[in-house]
Structure 1
């Protein structure tokens, strides 16, 4: 029985760690231009195709489901289902890896991202009185949000570990990295946003588009936090299953932490 379990484990390990092979030449970790070019190609491939061999879905479109965001203090927007498009066209502006400091510091630029989804909105706030004539709302509808010229800089703690297969892997040490972001423009559109018996799509659309800078400054971080968590689920899956030797040609054993 032990032998059978061992054989099954070995087969599964091979299917998940060796079935996918990066076909680009590996880089020196000190060659920033090469690292940027390599990860740009990998990022584009992930965007279009994902990596089925390690159960990593495509980034573009990225599916959303059951995500809640609180705005205006007590108003909860619950995204039942939706998609984000545009990730495959994003560019890596810079990508520095400092293993002495255990940090990876990439900067990502996306010309346009669009979010479409079906959402539920519910809650109460005195701020609603001037908008809807009531302090509480409950309704649902569809939305499209266009984000223009997004720049995100990440500071991600990483280490090098050695697994039982004898290979080294990058290990991302957090789901909540330090980050900065800048969004040059937000365009919002609501459809069939029915609250009570009234379709308030036009009112909400006009309000958000007139006040998007204020809303982004106030609630943007919570929204970006949610996005970072989703993206880092993909990052963890990638690094947990693809050995560092596939894309870094330097000997990383001096940096092993485990």
Structure 2
């Protein structure tokens, strides 16, 4: 799930305005060092960094998100609340690039397992089966591989150069996904167990349609974290040799 990690990776490479102890700085040309810096930074963001106004990233929290109906397999109107993503702090960085010329950051990560949970309300159809329910839900993603792509621009602030992320895209691939949605059928509990079995037998089709909505929401959450961090940290503090490349 190299993905969400990507953004932390950004953070990791940074040393800032008095960054917390233990953050690693690198030459902008030393990609091996940058990969190590990002990897070391990931667990440091698990509980958040108060002095930078950065909230905890494991679990990564989304207060609310809505998904309209009309997809192919999942024709549902869905509202999710208090959604958390657990496991990001265990991510392993497999590749990282910081392209100053094209103003793009690309991070690849893997992790053994990610768990998405919260409360859902949904009505419509899944695989042509009627759904009308609400309650707690859990999605378990096994061996996720993530890609995080961030496009940024450089701007001046108080005589210093800062990075501002303009967009972020998060992609997932997994070896398997399992779903547990409680109370999918309010009026027919007898069929609910069968529907849950159908969901998990068709996990790939469900994953392809459902998970991208989550990754879009988490990409936006990570975008905010990145900008909150880099608004305070000039690039001359992030890279050992940035000031000499202007």
Name the TM-score class by shorter chain. 0.7 to 0.9
Distance 2:22 2:185 in 1: 51
What is the aligned length?
Answer: 228
* Equivalence for 1:6: none
Mapped pair 1:249 → 2:243 = no
C-alpha distance after superposition, 1:16-64 (max 9, x if no partner):
x8464453341001111111111222221112x2111122111011222
Residues 1:244 and 1:201: Cα distance change in structure 2 (over 3 Å) = farther
* Equivalence for 1:156: 150
* Equivalence for 1:225: 216
Q: What pairs with 1:80-95 in structure 2 (closer than 5 Å)?
A: 80-95=81-96
- Cα offset, 1:244, TM superposition: 2.2
Distance 1:249 1:147 in 2: 38
- Cα offset, 1:126, TM superposition: 9.0
| Equivalent residues of 1:63, 1:81 under 8 A apart | yes
| Equivalent residues of 1:193, 1:199 under 8 A apart | no
- Cα offset, 1:93, TM superposition: 1.3
- Cα offset, 1:100, TM superposition: 1.5
Secondary structure of 2:138 counterpart? strand
Q: What pairs with 1:133-148 in structure 2 (closer than 5 Å)?
A: 137-148=131-142
Secondary structure of 1:24 counterpart? coil
Secondary structure of 1:208 counterpart? helix
- Cα offset, 1:197, TM superposition: 5.7
Secondary structure of 1:209 counterpart? helix
TM-score normalised by structure 1 residue count: 0.77
Residues 1:232 and 1:126: Cα distance change in structure 2 (over 3 Å) = closer
* Equivalence for 1:169: 162
- Cα offset, 1:219, TM superposition: 3.9
Residues 1:148 and 1:216: Cα distance change in structure 2 (over 3 Å) = same
* Equivalence for 1:4: none
Secondary structure of 1:59 counterpart? coil
| Equivalent residues of 2:62, 2:83 under 8 A apart | yes
* Equivalence for 2:102: 101
Residues 1:227 and 1:199: Cα distance change in structure 2 (over 3 Å) = farther
* Equivalence for 1:212: 203
- What are the ranges of 5 or more consecutive residues in structure 1 without an aligned counterpart? 1-16
- Cα offset, 1:117, TM superposition: 1.1
* Equivalence for 1:35: 34
Secondary structure of 2:175 counterpart? strand
